[in-house]
Amino acid sequence: MATAAEPGFDRALIEESAKKSALVWVRGPEGPPRALWHVWHEGAVWLVGGPGEQPLDGLGLADGARATVSCRSKDKGGRLVVWPAEVAEPAPDDQVRAAAVVELATKRLNAPDTAALAERWNAECRVLRFTPAGGTSQGPGTMPDDGGAAPPLPTPASTRVPTPTGLPTRRRRRKRG
């Protein structure tokens, strides 16, 4: 069995967890982490965002920026590995980007325009590549003791209001004894 001290273990763990996870959590230089769908292609996580796709605004993901990517376990859903990544936004004529866009298009669920998806992404959206930049900062055996929970983001939505009087209430049943 491989241990964390062996060369290539971190890279293999990053690759396998990114391939099997439907979402990755990305924390850019700005803003809170965000869950984003992706594909693993040619040694990197690729994702698309913009109008009609997942929002990337507020994360500060510019070409050459650094980000932190978290992958979760497929079976339990808990955090499995956290790794630093270098963000790149290849040009639309890049061959590797074109191949990644084809793979992204096959994984895109409920697309409104499947026939012209790649053209729309090239014209209106951003396609980003997250290349691992170093070893894992968290992984099996190196997880922090705290749960990593963060307070919820501020929102005008609220559920802490009194129940309207017209709604029926639940009555508690007494145990017969």
Q: Which tokens is 103 given?
A: 């793979």
Res 2: pLDDT: 45
0.85 surpassed by pTM: no
Report the distance separating Cα 47 and Cα 129, nearest Å: 7
The CA-to-CA distance between both ends of the chain, in Å, stands at 57
Q: What is the pLDDT of residues 46-84, one digit of tens each?
A: 999 988 899 988 888 999 999 999 988 777 777 778 889
Q: How far is CA 143 from CA 70, 140, 147, 174, in A?
A: 12, 7, 9, 46
Report the distance separating Cα 56 and Cα 30, nearest Å: 11
Band (pLDDT 50/70/90 cuts) for residue 3 is very low
Q: What is the pLDDT of residues 146-163, one digit of tens each?
A: 766 777 777 787 777 777
Q: What is the assigned CATH class of domain 9-132?
A: mainly beta
Q: What is the pLDDT of residues 103-143, one digit of tens each?
A: 998 888 887 787 888 888 888 899 999 999 877 776 676 66
